[in-house]
Amino acid sequence: MSAQGLRASVAGLAGLPQGGAGVIPDLTAAAFIGAGFGLLFRYQPLAYAATISSGVLYGLLWWILGPLTLAPLLAGRGPTWTLPEASAALPSLVGHVVFGAITGLAFYVFVAAYVRRHSERTPVPDAPVPTTQIVILGGGFGGVSAAQRLEQLLARRPSTSIVLVSQSNYLLFTPMLAEVASSGLEAQHISAPVRAALPHTRFLRGEVEAIDVGGRTVTVRESASATAEMLPYDHLILALGSVPNFYGLPGLAQHAFTLKTLDDATRLRNHIIGLLEAADVERDEKRRRDLLTFVVAGGGFAGTEMVAELFDLVHGVLRYYPRVTPGEARFILVHSGARILPEISPALAEYAQRRLAARGIEFLLNARVAGASADGVRLSGQRRLPTRTLVWTAGNQPHPLLGTVPCDHASSGAVVADATLRVDGLERVWAVGDCAQIPDLNAEGRPCPPTAQHALRQGQVAAENVGAVLAGRAARPFRFRTIGTLVALGHRTAVAEIRGWKFSGFLAWLMWRTVYLSKLPGLEKKVRVALDWAIELFFPRDIVLTGSGPTPTLAQTIGAQRDETAPVASAGPEEGRA
Amino acid sequence: MKSDLWGRGIAAGAFAGLIGGALSAAVLSRLGSLPPTASLVRADAATAGFVLHVALGIVLGAGFGVLVWHQRAGAGETLFWGIAWGALWWFLGPLTLMSLLLLGFLAWDLHSAQEAFPTLLGYLLYGGVTGISLAVIRRERTPTGAARPGALIRGILAGTTGGVFLGVLLDAQGLLSGIPITMGSGLSGWPLIIVSGAVAGGGYALLYPRPPEGTGPGLIRGMVYGFCWWVVGSLIPSVARVVGEAGQAGPVQADFSMLPGYLLFGAATAVLYAWMDGLGRVLFSDMVPPRDTEGVGTEGLRALGRGAVAGLIGGTLFALVIVQIGGLSAMARLVGSTSIWGLIAQVLIAQAVGISYGFLFRRQSYDVGSGLGWGISYGFFWWVLGPLTLAPLFLGSAPRWRVEAAAELFPYLIGHLAFGAALGVTFHLLEARHNPWWIPRSEAEAARVALRREQVLTSAPALWAIVAAIALTLPVLLSR
């Protein structure tokens, strides 16, 4: 039966001209078409009925492709796919159905026999055990983009596993951090959970304790009380980022606010609103002025955006504090250079300074912070600014853990990597982002600037290079030209410099919002931030004070009252948490 | 396992085949079209033919039992396997083996196929009854159990709504009053449509006490379910009429005009049934959500993007077919403009259909083959819904459910199938690009992969083959 069906149908299978063609070309065509079946349905688990009916479907498709399409094409006239033509080709339709059914059945029989023979020797496990492990340290732009690219590259390689270790389980979108501090955006809206962004990566929230380059392991501890976990690696990508650097100045570590994490931003916001609350009840004029003096150290992007946002926050909510007059609030930007925003061209920096100064923000240029205390900031030259708020954006240093990696370090403490992002002297260690000093091939080998756009691309290139090395290919150098710089100045103004083109004012502000909204990871967060912005257009900023204040909880208040009336009452479980 | 398959599979299948054979033989002998089978033993006696038919039914049923023993055992699954099995044997039997044995040549030409068309009815009937019987025999193996009253009510509601839709579309063409009066009931016109809709909807609920996976696959199932009702409700009466008039089985000019209606009705019923069940679950059930859902927002928008891209690629292929057959002007007429606008409208429609495919069939293809299967089935659905139904409606006339219109639009059918194939495959590749979930990387994902692969054990592969066979053979066989 099968022989007859096969031979009779094969002639017209691929629409080859019939008559004169021997059995050999027919069978060759049939073999090729059968191979196509295997290719299409290779992941289909074996089941008689399923394979046979898939075969019939496949045969029917070849009827369209062969007699109805290829045959007229080969005959030199275009296919028309009309019904008369289809009617004329009906014999081969029946043939294709029979051929497909037999192909499916034969496929089943052969593959089942093959699988049976081989499964006896090596049982195929359901979840293959990974043999290669890539460990990424750090969940910032560099680390997450590296993991995402690795997932794409190695999606079809179950033998490779990717592990990402980070202190926080979210990717923080730092450009919007100042807006969180100024109560413009909800804290959680500018952070994307790493687990959601990386479905095929093992995520480990914990602190990296040690990196053993010789033994190719990383020691990670989830919390102080947890046992340490040793993570072996075949390739290690360092993306640990940077931490604030106080240069050992006295009092800064205790009294300065930094802006690195979501907690920092929320703490700062609560602090400012708390000061406004205090100022509203403070009767002493001098002390009220101290409470309302806000100092930002550092005139780079972060500092400039921060001081502008603080200004917007305070003036945006001042209506709720009727005893505070607008003139009492002072905003001071302390910068060591002769002009703010050294990263962008002088004209734009001057514009930014002019706009901010016009609002009443004061600039102390060529000045340095020399120390801080609970009630003031000491500047170089023995000058003192009485304030309760110092925001420190004037210095960062690479993660201190990098000091333990036995390789060349730059003066800043960053590990030195070559243009392919491989750490000098270490075969299987790569470094990206702020924690690495990477030569910029477009700027005669000067180090790449520590920006998010660089970290993002470096992460991708590092992932591609790891993939290349695993596949036995050569790593390619990192080459990227800064696209541009955007600095928001509050009040619907910004300055932007994109590929040498300069923008300022409302247009630049629109660009800032569009660009950063599009870069925000995760669609859901984009929607949330867009909604936050829309709400901000119509409603004032939120002054709800949560968390850090000494206000007792309702349960505690009620518990205290009850204690007063009935002293024998046992303490509630809240007490332990208070 | 092995002895289980060969022993119980053959026994259950043979028993189911006995029922299927007897029932279909009874119907066929009433219609007077048993002789072709009987002529196999050169006996013209009705009894001999009957016995032979039943005997063949038992043998084929045993084979069927073996083949589907490891598939899922619900009635909704084995029904479609049975129909596919029956249809396959129509190709293998009357067209191939019987004519080879009796006449010494392959009866693969159009004339023989049209001549043998009435027996297709018997094979489909046999397959369907055998499939359902097998499900009943294997009942203890299905944990899902019988339909609850809630499901039945939902099914009847969905069927009635589908029936109203169908009635409106039939009424527009003046076909409503011409529906053949089935099974001697006194009903006709609107009451008939609504009652049969309710019955068919209830039947669907009995087949699927729980709606099958996903809205898209449900739609395809519903379409094939509608085809079953076309066989019962339209094909049998028209075969009976021909036999009644001519006194013997001849080439049947079956009622093609009802087929698109039945297909759309089935699809609408299945979709409504699935949605009603989904709505009920969202509102009144506090089930823990499955592990791998990411929420309609995330999944839906992703499906939208992928569907748009896949629709664009499928639309390009479709446009190539349309340009080749010179059909652009017709498209332009639809939008009342020149050909280039017709082409643009075409691509936009293709994209919209692609997006709907993305929503309906997201996470339903586990390899290129299943992407192809769903895509082609969806393409055929849109041929029925688009050129045959909606396009005339937009042009201000009634739907064109006539065999001449289908013949004229056959090139478009090929275009739609090509579109569907490209759409399904592209969508699958896009979906698999970043998230190849058939590779288990952990225990949780291994469970997910197993869940996806479960699809093969349902009747999904049978559905693809049936839809492709309906699409390609019926317009040819029913043409004059």
pLDDT tens readout for residues A225-263: 888 899 999 999 999 998 888 888 999 989 999 988 898
Do the Cβ atoms of A303 and A333 come closer than 8 Å?
A: yes
Average pLDDT over residues A392-398: 89
B369·A128 Cβ contact <8 A: no
Q: With 80 as the cut, is the pLDDT of residue A574 above it?
A: no
How many Å apart are CA A223 and CA A232, to the nearest integer?
20
Interface contact flag, B92 A98, Cβ < 8 Å: yes
Q: Spell out which residues of chain A touch residue B81, defining contact as CB-CB under 8 Å.
A: 49, 53
Report if pTM > 0.90: no
Reported as half-sphere exposure (CB side, CA atoms, 13 A), residue A516 has a value of 25
Q: CA A553, CA A572: separation in Å to the nearest integer? A: 12
- The enclosing H or E element of A377 equals strand A376-379
Q: What is the pLDDT of residue B266?
A: 94
**B457–A47 C-beta distance less than 8 A:** yes
Residue B350's contacts (CB-CB under 8 Å, 6 or more residues apart) are B311, B312, B314, B315, B318, B319, B419
Q: A111: which 2 tokens?
A: 């593959």
pLDDT at B233: 80
* Chain-chain contact of B456 with A50 (C-beta, under 8 angstroms): yes
The nearest CA of chain B is from the CA of A231 a distance in Å of 17
- Under an 8 A CB cutoff, do A60 and B436 touch? no
pLDDT at A23 over 70: yes
Distances (CA, A) of B253 to A348, B24, B178, B234, B237: 82, 21, 16, 11, 12
pLDDT at position A295: 95
CB-CB neighbors (< 8 A) of B373 in chain A: 54, 57
Least Cα separation, residue B127 to chain A (angstroms)? 14
SS3 content of chain A, % helix, strand, coil (to 5): 45, 20, 35
Give per-10-residue mean pLDDT for chain B (480 aa): 69 91 83 58 67 89 88 85 92 84 80 80 90 84 60 92 89 70 56 88 89 87 92 76 57 69 93 90 73 72 91 92 76 68 85 94 84 94 91 84 85 92 93 64 63 78 91 81
Q: How far is CA B85 from the centre of its chain?
A: 13
3-state secondary structure of B441: coil
Nearest to B12 by CA among B118, B111, B137: B137
Q: How many Å lie between the alpha carbon of A304 and the closest alpha carbon of chain B?
A: 36
Between the ranges A11-20, A361-370, B33-42, where is the mean pLDDT highest?
A361-370
Enumerate the β-bridge partners of residue A164: A136, A203
User: Quick one: closest CA in B to A158, which residue?
Assistant: B441
pLDDT digits (tens, 9 = 90+) for B135-187: 888 875 555 555 578 889 999 999 999 999 888 888 888 777 655 544 444 55
CA B461/CA A56 separation, integer angstroms? 10
**3 state SS of B224:** helix
ipTM above threshold 0.95: no
* Cα distance between residue B37 and residue B42, in whole Å: 9
CB pairs under 8 A between A and B: 179
> Taking Cα atoms as reference points, which of B143, B266, B149 lies closest to residue B201?
B266
Determine, for residues A45 and B434 on separate chains, whether the beta-carbon distance falls below 8 Å: no
Do the chains contact at B414 and A88, CB–CB below 8 Å?
A: no
Which positions ≥6 away from B422 have C-beta within 8 Å? B310, B313, B314, B316, B317, B375
Q: Is the pLDDT of residue A275 over 90?
A: yes
Q: How far apart are CA B436 and CA B452, in angstroms?
A: 12
Chain B's closest residue to A63, CA to CA, is B472
The answer to whether residue B96 neighbours chain A at the CB level (below 8 Å) is yes
Q: Which of A29-33, A232-236, A264-268 has the lowest mean pLDDT?
A: A29-33
* Helix, strand, coil fractions of chain B, as percent rounded to 5: 80, 0, 20
Cβ contact B414–A68 (<8 Å): yes
Cross-chain Cβ contact A523/B298 below 8 Å: yes
User: How do A170-172 and A191-193 pair as beta strands?
Assistant: antiparallel
Q: Quote the minimal CA–CA distance from B144 to chain A in Å.
A: 22
Taking contacts as CB-CB distances below 8 angstroms, the residues of chain B near A61 are 372, 376, 421, 468
Inter-residue contact B331 to B342 (CB < 8 Å): yes
User: Which chain A residues are closer than 8 Å to B305 by Cβ?
Assistant: none
d(CA B98, CA B84): 19
What does the pLDDT look like over B108-127, one tens digit per residue? 888 888 878 878 888 899 99
Q: Are B108 and A94 in contact (CB under 8 A)?
A: yes
pLDDT band at A533 (very low <50, low <70, confident <90, very high): very high
Q: What is the C-alpha end-to-end distance of chain A, expressed in Å? A: 84
Q: What is the dihedral of CA A463, A465, A469, A473, to 10 degrees?
A: 140
Residues of chain A with pLDDT > 90, as a percent, come to 43
pLDDT value, residue A204: 92
Structure tokens at A102: 């037999």
Q: What is the DSSP string of B351-404?
A: HHHHHHHHHHHTT--SSHHHHHHHHHHHHHHHHHHIIIIIHHHHTTS----SHH
Q: Is B470 helix (H, G, I), strand (E, B) or coil?
A: helix
Mutate to test the interface with B, among A42, A57, A162 (most CBs of B within 10 A): A57
Token pair for residue B396? 């201000």
A48/B439 CB distance under 8 A: no
Taking an 8 Å cut-off on Cβ atoms, the answer to whether B67 and A4 are in contact is no
Query: Looking at the complex, does the CB of residue B81 fall below 8 Å from at least one CB of chain A?
Result: yes
Contacts of A97 in chain B (CB under 8 A): 88, 91, 469
CA–CA dist A541, A180 (Å, integer): 11
Q: What is the mean pLDDT of residues A288-312?
A: 92
- Report pLDDT for A277: 92
Separation in Å, CA B314 to CA A53, A106, B13 = 24, 32, 41
Chain B residues with beta carbon closer than 8 angstroms to that of A126: 440, 446
The pLDDT tens digits for A308-346 are: 999 999 998 888 998 888 888 999 999 998 999 988 899
Residue A121 CB contacts under 8 Å (≥ 6 apart), including other chains: none
B5, B70 Cβ separation under 8 angstroms = yes
Which residues 259-298 in chain B show a CB within 8 A of chain A?
A: 294, 297-298
